[in-house]
Amino acid sequence: MRAAALLRRAALAVLLLTAGAPAFAGKILVWGDSLSAGYGLRPQEAWPDLLGQRLAGEKSAWTVVNGSISGETTAGGRARLPAALDRQRPAVVIIELGANDGLRGLPVPAMVANLQAMIDAARKAGAQVLLVGMRMPPNFGPDFTARYEKAFRDLARTNTLRFVPFLMDGFADQPAFFQPDGLHPVASAQPRILETVWKELKPLLH
């Protein structure tokens, strides 16, 4: 009888200690280029930081690590990712790379191979993947721009991934939302980017 009572007290103590605790606490790794690194912005203005602020405001146990680097290509991201996965142990990886490959006219098949390697590495490490696509300006020619955009869609479909087709959806044609270079969004555009990402990210956090 005494042993049973002690067990009941121990079980109650565990319930009290865990009451209200989140079912799962994970880390989100943002793996991108200048569009996610916050080029030309204060760190707290970039959309990954806004994501962290949103999660904190919701008292979520999820945290955000921004591993993005301005100028990064898919080859660079692929080379850096294994060490980051070992170090951060993320539960979700947001892959936002490929814009610099496109702007430099690098071969689309090479970009696809690099993105696939990053998807495979993240999944092997136990992380879910959210893939972010990109579009090229029309002056790159219809053939290249079509193959480029299709590459992201195909990767998302064949790997059954949550997918954001275009980070700058809804404002890409509005100069007021871009810095003087015409490529990097200003601070006022970052909440829009966050909402675009959030729609596909939220289902991965449950």
d(CA 128, CA 22): 19
The residue annotated as part of the active site, out of 33, 34, 49, 68, is 34
CA distances from 37 to 40, 69, 71, 107, 201 (A): 9, 6, 10, 24, 18
Answer yes or no: 34 catalytic: yes
184 is catalytic: yes
Q: Which of 52, 72, 66, 46 is nearest to 186 (CA)?
A: 46
CB 66 within 8 A of CB 36: yes
Nearest Cα to Cα of residue 171 among 153, 151, 187: 187
| Beta-sheet strands, E only, within the chain | 27-32, 63-66, 92-96, 128-132, 162-164
Q: State the catalytic residue, choosing from 86, 143, 173, 181.
A: 181
Q: How, if at all, do strands 63-66 and 92-96 pair? A: unpaired
Catalytic (active site) residue 70:
no
Q: Which entry of 36, 49, 101, 184 is annotated as an active-site residue?
A: 184
Q: Coil, strand, or helix at residue 107? A: coil
Phi and psi for 130 in degrees, rounded to 5? -115, 120
Which tokens is 134 given?
Answer: 């990109």
Q: Give catalytic residue positions.
A: 34, 181, 184
